[in-house]
Amino acid sequence: MPSTDDIAQPQVVEDPGAPIDGHTRIEELSTATEEEESEPSSDSEDDDGMNVHGWMGAKVPGKVPGKVPALYTTRPILKDELVTPTSIAQDKVVEEVLPFMSGKDPEILELNSHGLPALLRRKHIKFCQYGLGKFPSQFQAMDASRPWLLYWNLAAMSFLGEDLGRWRERVIQTFTPMQNPDGGFGGGHGQLSHCAASYAATLSLALVGGLDIVDRRTMWQWLGSVKQKDGGFAMAIGGEEDVRGAYCAMTIHSLLNLPMELPPNSPARVNGDETFLTNLGEWISSCQTYEGGIGSAPDNEAHGAYAFCSLACLCLMDAPHKSINKWLNVPKLLAWLSSRQQAPEGGFQGRTNKLVDACYSHWVGGCWALLEAAIAGPGKHEEFSLCDREGLVRYTLCCSQQKKGGLRDKPSCRADGYHTCYSLAGLSAAQNHYYYEEKEEAVMSNGLTAAFKWRCTRVTPEQRAKLAFDEGDTVGLVHPVFVIPPEFVERTRKQFQDKVGF
């Protein structure tokens, strides 16, 4: 198996302390023990243990402890008395997060004005920089995920406001040999092209302004080869067909402004007039389950990530108030998604009877802007919110942050690039108002303009106070469909908007 040492790596690591070699990295990212940073003691002679908000601002000069709503500090009142492995696991998670949500566990003592842990911006950026460095041999299992390693860390840094210019050449050098002659990107050198790898590669290159290396003609031909007769997309030639393939393929198609007609060799080209959109809406509709959620394919279990992929794909096809309402049962989907937000955790689970996981801050949390636009229609609707934004903010700041940098699934887990990226994307979704502006012009020669018409307004100081975060805790804007900052989406649109053919 090829070595992963040539994954894009920084020339300079901010405040590394010492050169980073393989042994340093595996200890930093994967061992069960870590050297704790020195923190001020939270002990006090006046603390009798009954002050649950004691560390949340009371002992830090200038901080005023906030009153944590009972929703986030109280064990569930209604409980099913049937004991199962699932219910036991859920009870353990509640006991795990309550000290963090209530303020009893002083893991992070740097607080915002509401008494919550502040966003550890510089530490998270440093964590992502490490994630773009060399990996030891133990990480060979991640060899097919090279594009994702770059995307997660680059995207997370961009959400935090970090300039990505220094990474441009290394990212381009990493992806150039991963592009296959017959189109698309593989997960590693010499590997077959795959929708997920091509999606992550395209977004990573968009983040650094490196999309010129993409062969648009062969990409179009390869995407046509994974388009299926029933309307969906396979993840690879001969691979599984699911909604990830549809979302990834149409994201690439839209950003690169590829021709709408299918290439002659596409298996979906039957009558000769088929396009990339033929039967796609019908196929996504068939993935909605009896619960109201959306599975990976027809008759599969509903899952939060597949809900996002389906909603985002429909928003690539047309305006959300048209496409989503046409192809999905919105009331049932709304009910299913609403049931994924947990209390007292405040975060989201991905499936029925599963545990809270910070990655669903995006996969479920990112669904709300799309659904809100589908229900409210085009235009600003800042006061229209379908989920508990405060709960998501609290879970991210209190439970997801790791003191040394990076974000994690839950407090008992270790931080990684995947959870760091999607926790921050979800935090942006909670902190900002995204809406669809139909009157805005966004010309693309292939006709797919809908995804380029999203706009955003930041919350007011009064709204920030209600959501319990400060300006210093604010994450940058994240495009609700493409999941990269809007300025990079706009730069890409301008680069390819006038392309006709190849």
Classify 277 as helix, strand or coil: coil
Candidate list 416, 418, 433, 435, residue with the active-site label: 416
- What are the strands, taking DSSP E only, across 149-261? none
In this predicted structure, what is the pLDDT of residue 501?
A: 73
53 is catalytic: no
Candidate list 72, 360, 434, 436, residue with the active-site label: 360
Question: Torsions phi, psi of 124, nearest 5?
Answer: -65, -40
In this predicted structure, what is the pLDDT of residue 79?
A: 85
388 is catalytic: no
413 is catalytic: no
As a whole number of angstroms, the distance between CA 443 and CA 497 comes to 6
In eight-state DSSP terms, residue 454 is: E
Candidate list 53, 121, 332, 354, residue with the active-site label: 354
Say what the pTM is: 0.87
Crossing angle (nearest 10°) for helices 216-226 and 195-208: 150
Structure tokens belonging to residue 397:
């700041």
Q: What are the boundaries of each domain within the chain?
A: 65-496
In eight-state DSSP terms, residue 459 is: P
Contact between residue 252 and residue 314 where contact means Cβ atoms under 8 Å apart: no
Residue 1: exposed, middle, or buried by beta-carbon count in 10 A (0-12, 13-18, 19+)? exposed
Question: How is domain 65-496 classified at the architecture level of CATH?
Answer: Alpha/alpha barrel (1.50)
Residue that has been written with the tokens 């990079």 in this structure: 488
In this predicted structure, what is the pLDDT of residue 105?
A: 75
Candidate list 128, 359, 398, 421, residue with the active-site label: 359
Task: Give me the helices (H) in 432-460, please.
Answer: none
Crossing angle (nearest 10°) for helices 121-130 and 146-159: 160
Q: Is the dihedral of CA 232, 234, 240, 245 positive or negative?
A: negative
Residue numbers in the chain where pLDDT is lower than 50? 1-65
As a whole number of angstroms, the distance between CA 49 and CA 44 comes to 10
In this predicted structure, what is the pLDDT of residue 51?
A: 35
Candidate list 351, 389, 394, 453, residue with the active-site label: 351
381 is catalytic: no
Contact between residue 406 and residue 130 where contact means Cβ atoms under 8 Å apart: no
357 is catalytic: yes
As a whole number of angstroms, the distance between CA 66 and CA 381 comes to 29
Per-residue model confidence as pLDDT tens digits over 67-88: 799 999 999 888 888 999 999 9
Candidate list 126, 419, 433, 493, residue with the active-site label: 419
Closest CA to 422 of 481, 469, 361: 361
As a whole number of angstroms, the distance between CA 237 and CA 234 comes to 7
Integer CA distances (angstroms), 256 to 11, 211, 223, 445, 502, in order: 30, 8, 12, 11, 11
Classify 435 as helix, strand or coil: strand
